[in-house]
Every structure is written in C-alpha cells, then in structure tokens.
Amino acid sequence: MKLITFYGSRGLRIVKGENQYVWDDKGKKYLDLHSGHGVAFLGHRNKRVVEYIKSQMDEIMTLTTAFDNPIREEMLRELDDVKPDGMDNVFLLNGGTEAVEMAMKVARKTTGRKKFIAFRNSFHGRTMGSLSVTWNKKYRDPFEPLVGPVDFLEFNKIEDLKKIDNETAAVIFEPVQGEGGVIPATNDFAKALREETQKKGVLLISDEVQAGFGRTGKVWAYQHFNITPDILTAGKAIGGGFPVSAVFLPDDIANRLGEGDHGTTYGGNPLAAAAVTAATRVLKEERVPEQAKVKGELFMRMLRDALADFKSLREIRGLGLMIGVDLRLNPGLAIKVLQEQGVLALKAGITVIRFLAPFMITNQDMELAVNAVRKGVSETESKGGT
C-alpha cells in the first residue's frame, strides 16, 4: 500500500517533536521553522494542549453540535476574550479550506450575489470553492471550471479596488499573503479596501488561516490595519496542533443563516473544542502575540544584518513570526542547505524562503537559523540559484 502525499519528499523521517524542535529517526535535532505550514505555532506537543485533549478523551470524543456539551461551552467562554471585533458567533470545522468554503457560502447566502474578488498571489485552499479564489494557475487550471465568477486584482494596488462592483458578494484577502510570498498588506491598501467594500455593500473576508491567532504580533492580523472585516476564517495554530478551523461572524450575518445552510461531521467535536480551549489559554496567559511581535522584529533585524552583503537578497519582510527572505534566485538549494544545517523552512511564491517559527523560539535558535541561511544563500549564489 502506498500513501499519496502530493508533496515532494524532504528526505527526512521525523519521529518526535517538542516545542520548536523535531528529531529524525537517526536522532538528529532540527529547529522547526516549517512547523507543519504554521500549525505548530504554539509548539509541538504543547503540554497544556496535550493534557486537555487527553482529559477530554476520557469523557467523550465524538459528538455533533446538535447536542450541548460542557467542553464547547468552556471553549466559547475562552474565545470570548480573543474573538475578532464584533464577531460573537463561531462555527468550527476541520481545516482552513473548509472555513473558506463556508465563508464563501455565507457571502452568497446573505448578499444574494454570486461574484467573488480575490488577489494575485493569494492562496485560500485547494477544494473547489477555495481553489477558485486561489491565484496560482498551476493549482487551478486542471480543475476548471471552478466556482465563479471570480476577478483577481493586484494586491496592494489601491487603484485596482475601483473594480469592486455592486455585483460582488465578497472580497477575500489575506492580511499577510503566505503562500504567495509573505507579503503584508500596506496600511493604505487595507484602509482603502475596507472603505470600498463598505461603499459597495460587499462583504470583506479576512482569511487568517495562516496569519491569525497571534503569529503576526496581534491576535488577528487585520488588527494591524485598524479595520474590521465582516467575516474571519482561522485555522492552523488555533488548535495548538489539532486539526480544527473556525469561521467567525457578527450577529447581523449569523442571524441570516438557517438550519441546513452548512454542516460538518467532525467539526466542533469535543477533542477539537478541548484543543481550542487550551490553545486559547496559552495564547492569553503566555502573552503569545506580544512574544511574536518582539521576537519577530529581532529575527528580521538579525536576518537583515547577516544577509546585507548578498547580491541575491531582494528583501526581508513579514509581520511578527511570519517572515520571508526574498531572493533574486530560486531558494530551493538554500532550503536544502538549511535542512542540512538543522533548520527546517519552506518555500513561498517563487523566490522566498519562509519562516513560520513557533512562538517559543529563542535568541540562540535565531542565531542558528541566521547562520544556516547565510550558508544557504552563499551556496545558492555560488551555483547561480540552481
């Protein structure tokens, strides 16, 4: 029997994880700045999350949201402190793409419109709806026709926002584009986007599956821009490593949804609710967003100082602990060298080394990563980026 993966093999057999580190089957230790595409932001096997899931397993594991349950009630109380502004309603699903699918359905149901607008270099998922608002044609083309109509505008180009029209149900955007190259929105662009969508009666969906839940230095990435979206999708870090995603909605939207408008078999199961409860406590009590802000600023400063003399360096950018090293060369070799040096990273866009560090990363870890990326970029330059 063979496992279908859809991802190229990294040539490692990982057998253990603890906080910001993983170990392979030969006992070699790695600093994990890949973190499962950002899932392990609260660390591998975060003790508080693991203990809460274990405790819940002794009670009940499977229960649909048609039945009330104490752990879900506890989760809602914890989330109340960190919920997006004005969004008193949440629906739990299993992964980020499901959250985007629901957000798109909600937009169509509540506006009566069909059209969506997304942005170039966006990534929102790989199921049919979320794929339709994902920019990369390599992902989309084999599966056309997808959900439409969809228009793609230039990210961070204010003039393009005039193309938002009265036929649009929703604009979906990432406050920091992840897969597309770790590209933060500009303040002026985010403000203009919010103004234009409100003017046209268009819903604004903030897709924070990767950027949300503390990673960028605030609980939610949209908070950097002093705007409030209409719908927010979350995932990855929100479960502390357990598969769970969420859609947050305000009353005026949630109250227009009815029984049967959406559903899920596993979404909101007691184990997921326990994971979200514990993860939210960690987020608050360990001041995770504040740590991400301080450490992210330090990490980017160290990277800029260490890489300033490389001709291939285009830019180092990001927010909090969502960081991209943009090169003028293919970063594949550099990522391989990083791995050989005991640092796991991943690619973003065409030319970017992406770091999605767990929040407990230390100064010593950063030094290891900086030295490794210097070596990786040096070898990449010497071989012309091949």
Annotated binding-site residue? 265: yes
Number of helices (H), then strands (E), in the chain: 12, 17
pLDDT over 90 (residue 223): yes
Tokens 């992964």 sit at which residue? 95
CA distance 134 to 122: 5
Q: For residue 59, how many other CB atoms are within 10 A of its CB?
A: 13
Prior bond to 184 cis, omega within 30?
no
CA distance 38 to 321: 10
Q: Where are the alpha helices (DSSP H) in the chain?
A: 35-38, 47-57, 70-79, 96-111, 128-132, 137-140, 187-200, 251-254, 270-285, 288-307, 332-340, 363-382
Annotated binding-site residue? 126: yes
- Give pLDDT, residue 371: 98
Question: How confident is the model over 311-320, as a mean pLDDT?
Answer: 97
CA distance 161 to 347: 29
Tokens 């230039």 sit at which residue? 154
DSSP letter at 227 equals -
Q: Is 107 buried (19+), middle (13-18) or exposed (0-12) by CB count in 10 A?
A: buried
Annotated binding-site residue? 208: yes
pLDDT over 80 (residue 37): yes
pLDDT over 90 (residue 384): no
Percentage of residues in the chain having pLDDT higher than 90: 98
DSSP letter at 82 equals T
pLDDT over 80 (residue 269): yes
- Give pLDDT, residue 224: 98
pLDDT digits (tens, 9 = 90+) for 134-146: 999 999 999 999 9
pLDDT band at 23 (very low <50, low <70, confident <90, very high): very high
Q: Around 372, how many Cα atoms within 13 Å sit in the side-chain half-sphere?
A: 25
Q: Give all domains of the chain, ordered by start, each with its CATH number.
A: 14-32+288-382 (3.90.1150.10), 47-285 (3.40.640.10)
- Give pLDDT, residue 8: 86
Question: How confident is the model over 190-209, as a mean pLDDT?
Answer: 98
Cβ–Cβ under 8 Å, residues 346 and 19: no
pLDDT over 60 (residue 266): yes
Annotated binding-site residue? 96: yes
Q: Residue 282: phi, psi to the nearest 5?
A: -60, -45
Structure tokens, 84: 């997006």
Cβ–Cβ under 8 Å, residues 109 and 257: yes
Beta-strand relationship, 168-173 and 115-119: parallel
Annotated binding-site residue? 110: no
DSSP letter at 237 equals G
pLDDT band at 76 (very low <50, low <70, confident <90, very high): very high
Mark 63-79 as b/e (b = at least 16 C-beta within 10 Å).
beeeeebebbebbbebb
Annotated binding-site residue? 6: no
Annotated binding-site residue? 160: no
Annotated binding-site residue? 67: no
The mean pLDDT of the chain is: 97
Contacts of 93 (CB under 8 A, 6+ apart): 99, 102, 244, 245, 246, 247, 264, 267, 268
Tokens 């550099």 sit at which residue? 334
Tokens 């991943």 sit at which residue? 346
- 3-class secondary structure, 76: helix
pLDDT digits (tens, 9 = 90+) for 157-186: 999 999 999 999 999 999 999 999 999 999
pLDDT band at 383 (very low <50, low <70, confident <90, very high): confident
Could you please report the per-residue DSSP string of 104-130?
Answer: HHHHHHHH---EEEEETT----SSHHH
pLDDT digits (tens, 9 = 90+) for 38-54: 999 999 999 999 999 99
pLDDT band at 386 (very low <50, low <70, confident <90, very high): low
DSSP letter at 161 equals G
Q: Beta partners for 92?
A: 246
